[in-house]
Structure formats: structure tokens, C-alpha cells
Structure 1
């Protein structure tokens, strides 16, 4: 039997023993406050994504010559924020059973029964409707892109692949890469090459970013029966995947000046940020023992956030 067949059999065996169907969680002690309702929207994720939405709008205006007015900015950002909040609420609702099994998530409001699960489910649908209503005046394309991202995150990732296959990270990254495209489509009313470059940067960036989380939370995912790559294939294979995607991000980030007029400073910054991340990826192969690997993954995760913020901020500042 070859290695590929063995890996498939191992994964199928793992999933068959550990995968759990979404099940009802008895609501109890409904003592949740307004803060709990805010936490199910994952405000930090929304804010981070809005940076990329705005970048998409800003670069689309520069590349296509379409004007960027306050109404477009406000409606697009608020509409995108509501669509993202819809996804996080539905994610909290669907994952409330496995959240109980993970140290990182067991204190969430739904996992502890502080909120009514039906209320959070309702929030998810209401946010989706409100977000769609705000995005529709910005164009059908921007709205469809946003709804595609919502469907991919909630249905393909959360409801299906997260519990069944190691490809969950890849599919989740597709959904997570659409925010800058929402911004671009809202301004340009089309998806030009620049929009696809932004999508590619976000897609490639997310995979090593989330694999770092998977290593950090290895025990959590293992106990919850979630077939993340480190759980199914081990740390070394995961590090190779992280290295490959980090290396690939360098040329992908340098594609932007081909479709949007950028200062040469952007090219140098993208190179420096990418090479530094690549060096950090290589260091992962020299860690000794489980704890040292976890510590490396924490540093890797933090740097991935720094990389994204600096790269997208530089796009805004350094566009010609």
C-alpha cells in the first residue's frame, strides 16, 4: 500500500471515530449580558476584515478611476460587517457542541448556555438580511460576492468540512478571502485583475495563519475530534504546508503592481515582510519537542497578523 492510500485510510478512520454531527445543546442559566451578544459576532474578526474591504475599495478607485464617496464607503463597510457578523453568529450556533470540548472555546456564551441558541441563530439571519439590504445599492456583484463568502464559511466550512476533512482550512480560506473583493466590486462594479490579486493574497495568507492556530490548539482539536491537519498528519507535514504557502505568498503579493499602480516602496516592503515570514517558517523545523513547537506556532501566528496589517495598510498608503 502506498503512502497516499495509507494517509487516506488514516484520515477516514480518524473521522469515523471522532466526527460529530451538530446536535442540540440544552440552554441553561440564560444569564447572558449584552457583552455576550457582542462576543458571538467576533468583533475582532470583523474589524480585521474591514481593513481588507476598505483596501479593496481604495485600490479599485485608484485602478479604475471610479470615484469613492462617503455613502459607498459607509454602506459597503457596514453591509460587509453585518454579513461577517452573520457568519460568526451562525458559526457559534453550529459549533456550540464542539465548543464545549475545547479549552479555547468552552467559556463561550452558547457553550455555557448563557444565551438562547435560537436567539443567536435569529441574529445570524437578521444580520444577513440587513447586510444584503445595505450592499444591494452598491451593486449585485458586491452582494453576490458577500453572500458567496457567507455560504462558503457557514455551509461548506463550518457545517461540513470542519468536522469531516483536513481540507477544511483550504475551503475556509476561500470564503475568508472575499472581503477585499466585496470592496472592489462595490466601487468598480466588476472584478478586475486587481481584485483577484487581493483575493489570492488573502487566500494564501490564511492557510498558514490558521494552521498555526491548529498547532497551537492541537490538544483542543484532537479532543473535539476535529480533523485539522496537525491532528491528522502531524506537525512536520503541517510545517511543510505552512512553508510552501508562506513561500508562495511572496510572488503572489508582488503581482499587485501589475494591475494597480503602486510605489516601488510597496514592492520592497512586501519582499521584506515575506522573506521575514519565510525565515520564521524555516525555524519551525528546528524546534525540539512539543512545547517548543507550540511556542513557535504562537510567534508564527502573531507575525501573520502583523504581516497582514502592514501589507494592506501599505497598499492604501503606497498606491499611486
Structure 2
């Protein structure tokens, strides 16, 4: 759901008029690509999912779905989603979608058991969906798309670290070398660092590079200061409560920032978009 929401946010940030056909292809295509990546992930990790309480009831682990069915489903979703993005949007969007599946299933998934750097690889994967939405309607990569990617990239760290902190025993039992298991101090520092980076990206990067107006720099300050607050509480006292609060706020942060970005778009196309932006964002966010 968050992936689809970020793609929608990226779509409406592009300085191009809203087109219902392209929007529908982008939303459905991105969702299908996300389903494909997750299916490949669970297909590859099913032997280890059985060792984690969080994942021991997944369909592959409980044999409700066979590995062949999961593999077939992943490929069908990739083919269908890729085709929708290729013909309904443009080849660049489809290429980004396929790249994302490859990075998620081919790099991030196996890397989790090998190296702490998997968290950074996963953040790159998570940064691509808003760019897909932006490119779907604009047909190009530019500095504004880079800012979108960087915001989503930095958001991944407080989001995932807040989630994974209370699951350290699970990850350790399954042999995953994620940051919260391998280096707890680095986990806390990285969370704080990227929460501060979000403040800089929104207050300086977004308006300076033409993604938003300067009103966004002011409007986003309370949202980003709250993220810094929860990250700092986690940094100083890393426990179940502070990590859970950080994770919960990260779920609220992304739709809030996306909505503020759309409202403060530098090059607005109001006549066709204002009536449709807020309803779509509301549906996705909820």
C-alpha cells in the first residue's frame, strides 16, 4: 500500500496535466510489480521464514501455496505490470519497475543473510516507486525526481529500523545480518542521521531544485521535527516503546509529506488536477 501511495505521490508531483488512463496504468502496474517483488522475496526466503514468528504463518511456510505457484504468480504479475507500464505509461517506467524487482529479489533478498549493507540496498529499492510515478506522466528523469527518490530513501531508515528493532531475536534466529542485529549503535545513529536528512531535503532540497515552492519548506518543518523527535527518543533510549512509536510515526509521515508536496508543487496544473489530487491521496493513505 505504501509503495502504491508513493507512486501516486510521484505521479502528481510531475509538472504535467493529470491523465486518467496513464494514472490507472501507473497505479495498477506499480501495484502488480510490487506484488511480483514480494512474491519472489517470499519464494526465496520461505526456508527462513519458518524460523521467524513474524513470518511463520506465510502461505509458503504453511504449504497453502506451493513454490511453483508462488514463482508463477510472481512472473505473471511482473509480465502484466510491466506491460501495463510499458504501453500505458512509457518504456522508462516499465524499465524502472523491472529494475526494482531485480534489485529487490536479486540483491536485497539474498544480501540480508550476507551483509549489513542490505539495509542500504533495500532503501534504494524503496526509493524507486515515487520516481516511477513521476516518470510515468513526465517521461523523463530530472532533479525533481531525484529529490523524490532521496526523500523516500532516507525515510526507509527510521521506518525499517523502528520496525526491525523489536524483531532482533527473529532476524538473528533466521540468520539475517540486518543492521539492528549486526550493529545496534550504527542502527540508532543511522536512524537519527536520516531523520535529520529528511528535514534538510524538504526544507532546502525540494524548493531549491524546483520540486516544490518555498512554502513547502515551512509547512513540512513540523512533520520533519516530529520525525527527528521520535528518532532522537529511539537513539537515546532504544527500547520497545521508542522503536514502536518511531515505526508508527513513519507510517503517518510518508502520506503527510506527499500531500504537502503535491499542495506546494512548484509548477501546478490546477485546472485539471486540484479536484483529483486530494481524493486520490486520501484513498491511498487510508
Between structure 1 and structure 2, the one with the greater Rg is 1
Match of 2:245? 299
CA–CA distance in structure 2, aligned partners of residues 154 and 315 of structure 1: 30
> Does the alignment pair 1:308 with 2:254?
yes
Match of 1:168? 118
- Residue pair 2:93, 2:135 contacting (<8 A) in 1 also: yes
- Residue pair 2:158, 2:231 contacting (<8 A) in 1 also: no
Match of 1:232? 182
Match of 1:249? 198
- Residue pair 2:157, 2:191 contacting (<8 A) in 1 also: yes
Match of 2:282? none
Match of 2:100? 149
Cα shift readout 1:249-306 (whole Å, capped 9, x = no counterpart):
111123222344635442223211111111222222442xxxx712211111001111
Cα shift readout 1:147-185 (whole Å, capped 9, x = no counterpart):
111111110001x21110111110011011111111111
- Residue pair 1:97, 1:111 contacting (<8 A) in 2 also: yes
Match of 1:280? 230
Match of 1:106? 56
- Residue pair 2:147, 2:211 contacting (<8 A) in 1 also: no
Q: What is the 5 A alignment of 1:154-233?
A: 154-158=105-109, 160-233=110-183
- Residue pair 2:158, 2:194 contacting (<8 A) in 1 also: yes
Unaligned runs of 5+ in 2: 269-286
Q: Structure 1 pair 119/191, CA: closer, same or farther in 2 (3 Å)?
A: same
CA–CA distance in structure 1, aligned partners of residues 139 and 168 of structure 2: 42
Q: Comparing 164-173 with 203-212, which one deviates more in the overlay?
A: 203-212
CA–CA distance in structure 2, aligned partners of residues 151 and 77 of structure 1: 20
CA–CA distance in structure 2, aligned partners of residues 50 and 257 of structure 1: 24
> Does the alignment pair 1:118 with 2:62?
no
Unaligned runs of 5+ in 1: 1-46
CA–CA distance in structure 1, aligned partners of residues 122 and 234 of structure 2: 24
Q: RMSD of the alignment, in Å?
A: 1.5
- Residue pair 1:59, 1:260 contacting (<8 A) in 2 also: no
TM-score (norm 2): 0.88
CA–CA distance in structure 1, aligned partners of residues 145 and 51 of structure 2: 39
Aligned residue pairs total 264
CA–CA distance in structure 2, aligned partners of residues 233 and 296 of structure 1: 18
Match of 2:3? 49
TM-score (norm 1): 0.79
- Residue pair 2:144, 2:211 contacting (<8 A) in 1 also: no
Match of 1:41? none
Cα shift readout 1:66-100 (whole Å, capped 9, x = no counterpart):
33211100111111111111001111111111110
CA–CA distance in structure 2, aligned partners of residues 302 and 264 of structure 1: 28
